[in-house]
Structure 1
Amino acid sequence: MGHNAPLELLLVFVMGLGLFHGVNTVEETRNRLLTVMSDLKASCLLLDGNTNKRFDMHDLISDVAMSIASKGNSVFVLRYKHDSNDWPDDETVKECDKISCFGMSELPDQLKCPKLTFLSMGSKDPWMKIPTNFFKETKNLKVLYLSGMNLSSLPSISLLGNLRALCLRNCVLGDIALFGELKNLEILNIINSDIEMLPEEIGQLTKLKRLNLRRCSKLKRISPGILCKLSRLEELYMRDSLVEWGAEGHSSKESNSCLAELNALSCL
C-alpha cells in the first residue's frame, strides 16, 4: 500500500477479503483493525503515519513481509519504481491469489487468474482502457481496486459475482448500471470520478454496507428510491458532491432522492 497509507483503505481490503471471522459490521471491523494495528506498532512492526488516519511501515519490514507473502507464487507485486512496466506473462500470474501492479503501460486482453481474490492496479496513463473481456477468468475476485484508469466500457465486470469490495479512484467511468449485477458487493468506493448520476440499478446492491462518493464533483442526481433499498448501509460519504436533494413526496424519473430516504436506513 506504500508509505503513509490510509487506514480506511486497509479497512476496505480487510472487509473485502473477510480476514476477521465473526465480525459483521463496519464499526466492529474498524475496532478490531485498530486493536491489531496497535499491537503491531507496540512490536515496532508498524509506524505512525502523518495523521491518526494513516500508518506506515519500515522498508525492511515491508520487504520481509512481501518476501514471505510471495512464497509459493501466490502474490505478485509490481511497483512504479520497478524497471519494467510490462504485464507479467500468464505463467507467472496464473496461480496468483493476489496481484498489485502500478505503473502499467499495457494490459493483456484477458487476465487468466482463476484463483485471484485481490487485484490492485494503477496506470501511468489516465486514459488507459481496461480490455472488454479482462475479467472473464477472474470470477473468484473479492477485492478490486483501480486507480487512474478508463472504465468507460467494461461489460466483463458484471461477471464478478463474488466481488465484495470495489474501489475506483480517479477513474474515467461510463454507465455504471452494470455495478448492479454485483449482488455480493459490501463496499463501493467511487472517489474523484466524473459520474453525473447514480442509476437505479445501484439499489440492487442490498448487501452494501459502505458507499463512498467523495469528490465526485459532477454528481448531481441520485435516482429516487435507491438509498432506501440499501437496507444494510452503515456508512455513506458524499463530500464535495453537488447532489440537489429532492422534496419528500415528489418522485418522478427526472427527480432526485430525498433525504427522508436515509431515515429508513436503520443501520446508518
Structure 2
Amino acid sequence: MALKNNKNKYVWEDALQKMERQEMVGLLEPVEISTKLSYDQLKSEELRSIFLLCAYIGEAPSIMDLVKYSIGLGIYHGVNTIKEARDRTTTLINKLKDSSLLLNASSFHHVTMHDMIRDAALSIASKEWNFFTMRYGKLDEWPDTDAIERYAAISLHHCDIIDMIPEGINCPRLKVFHINSKDPLLKIPDKLFEAMGELRILVLTGIDLLNFPSSFKCLKKLRMLCLEQCVLDDKISIIGELENLRILILSGSKFEVLPSELRKLSKLQLFDINMCTKLRVIPSNVISKLNSLEEFYYMGGNLIQWEVEKKPNNNEIASLIELSHLQQLRRLHLSILDILALPRSLFFDKLDSYRIAIGDVKMLLLEYFRCFVCLRHQEL
C-alpha cells in the first residue's frame, strides 16, 4: 500500500525479504504483514501516531476526536492552537488515504478504515505502544502486575468487568485510560489514579461518579478529561486542580452547578458541556478566567441562568458578556432561554463559526462562516 508510488527496487526487495522472514516464522497474518510494511514506510512519527489512533479510537472516528487525542498526547510539535491541530490532522489523514491505509468516508467529518487493517493496526499498537484494548468482551481478571506496569494505554469499551476495578493499579507508564461502561453499577475506586502520574488522557463514559475519586488530584499531567454521560456531584471541584488541562468534556453528564474552581484552568482550550440538561448555574467570573479557551460548546440544555442586562444584576451568576473577554475564542455553540441574555454589543465578528439556539432548543439560530440567520417567533 505505502509502496505503490515507490519505484526504488531496493526498497521493494527489502520489503519482500521482510515479508518472507515474517511468513517463515509465522509471526503475522498476511494482512498484518502488509499493514506493518506500510506503517513502517510512513515518513513521520506524527503519521504513524494518527494511523494507530484511527484504529484505537474505534469505528469511523471523527476528525475532531483525533484532534482531541493529538492535543491530549502532545503528538504535534510546534502546534499550539486547536485550529492548527485540526489543519495538521486533516493533512495527515489525506496522506494516509494516499497510502491506502484509510478509506474515503461518507462523512467529511469522519475517517474510516478497513476492518482487517484496523485489526492489524491494533496489533501493531499493542506491540509498539503497549496498548491494551477490549471491545464488547468479558474481562474475567485484570492483566498481571508486570503487564499493567508496561501499558501506555488501557481501553475497555462496553465490556463486562467481572472482578470490577481494583482499588489501585500501578501504571507508571500509562498515558491513556478509557472506560466506556455498559454497567450502571460499575464504580471507580477512590484510590484508582494514585499511581497514574503520567496519565495524559482520561475518558470515562456512562459511570456513576457521585462518590468522586479523591485521587483525581494526582493527575497533574492530565491534558484531556472526558466525563460523558456520567452522574457527577459537587466534588468535581477537584477538576480545578488539574491545571494542565487543555480539553474538558462533560457532555451529557448530570450535575447542577459548575464549580467556581474551574476558573483556575488557565490552559484550557476546549470546553464542552453539551447536553448537560441538569446544569443550571455557572458562577460569575469562571468563563472569563479561561484565558486560553478557543472553543466553547453548550447546546441541548436550557436551564442555565445567564445574567440578563435588562433585569436586576445578579453578581453570582455568569453573564454572556464574559465570552467577549476571551481573546482566543474562535468557535461557540450556545443555548439560551432569554434573548435578553445576549450582550447588546455582539462579539461574533471575531469567531470563525458559531451556533446559537434561543428559547426552545428546537428553534435554532445557526451561523457558519459569518452568516447570521435568526429563526424565532419574534424579531430580535
Same fold (TM > 0.5): yes
Contact 1:146 1:168 survives alignment (8 Å): yes
| Correspondent of 2:170 among 94, 100, 112 | 112
Provide, for residues 43-74 of structure 1, a one-character-per-residue CA deviation record: whole Å limited to 9, x for no partner. 22112444222222111111221122222672
3-state SS in 1 of match to 2:215 = helix
Q: Which amino acid aligns with 1:54?
A: H
How far 1:263 sits from its partner (Å)? Answer: 0.5
Corresponding position of 2:146: 91
Q: After the TM superposition, which residues 1-268 of structure 1 pair with which residues of structure 2 at under 5 Å, given as runs?
A: 1-71=57-127, 74-80=130-136, 82-102=137-157, 103-105=159-161, 106-152=164-210, 153-175=212-234, 176-242=236-302, 243-247=304-308, 250-252=313-315, 255-268=316-329
3-state SS in 1 of match to 2:192 = coil
Q: Provide the aligned C-alpha RMSD in A.
A: 1.6
Where structure 2 has 5 or more consecutive residues not aligned to the other structure, the ranges are 1-56, 330-380
3-state SS in 2 of match to 1:192 = coil
Supply the distance in 1 between the matched residues of 2:230 and 2:216 (Cα, whole angstroms).
15
Q: Which amino acid aligns with 1:196?
A: E
Provide, for residues 14-59 of structure 1, a one-character-per-residue CA deviation record: whole Å limited to 9, x for no partner. 1000001000000000010011111112222112444222222111
Supply the distance in 2 between the matched residues of 1:71 and 1:107 (Cα, whole angstroms).
24
TM-score normalized by structure 1?
0.94
Matched residues, number? 265
Q: Which amino acid aligns with 1:43?
A: S
How far 1:83 sits from its partner (Å)? Answer: 4.8
How far 1:118 sits from its partner (Å)? Answer: 1.1
Supply the distance in 2 between the matched residues of 1:68 and 1:221 (Cα, whole angstroms).
46
How far 1:251 sits from its partner (Å)? Answer: 4.0
Supply the distance in 2 between the matched residues of 1:170 and 1:206 (Cα, whole angstroms).
25
Q: Which amino acid aligns with 1:246?
A: E
How far 1:85 sits from its partner (Å)? Answer: 4.9
Q: Which amino acid aligns with 2:117?
A: I
3-state SS in 2 of match to 1:62 = helix
Where structure 1 has 5 or more consecutive residues not aligned to the other structure, the ranges are none
Supply the distance in 2 between the matched residues of 1:143 and 1:104 (Cα, whole angstroms).
22
> Which structure has the higher relative contact order (CA within 8 Å, separation 6+)?
1
3-state SS in 1 of match to 2:150 = coil
Supply the distance in 2 between the matched residues of 1:20 and 1:174 (Cα, whole angstroms).
35
Supply the distance in 1 between the matched residues of 2:238 and 2:184 (Cα, whole angstroms).
22
Return the structure number with greater helix share.
2
Q: Which amino acid aligns with 2:170?
A: K
Identity %, equivalent residues: 38
3-state SS in 1 of match to 2:124 = helix
Corresponding position of 2:364: none
How far 1:86 sits from its partner (Å)? Answer: 3.6
Task: Identify if the C-alpha distance between structure 1 residues 73 and 6 changes in structure 2 by more than 3 Å, giving closer, same or farther.
Answer: closer
Return the structure number with greater strand share.
1
Contact 2:225 2:245 survives alignment (8 Å): yes
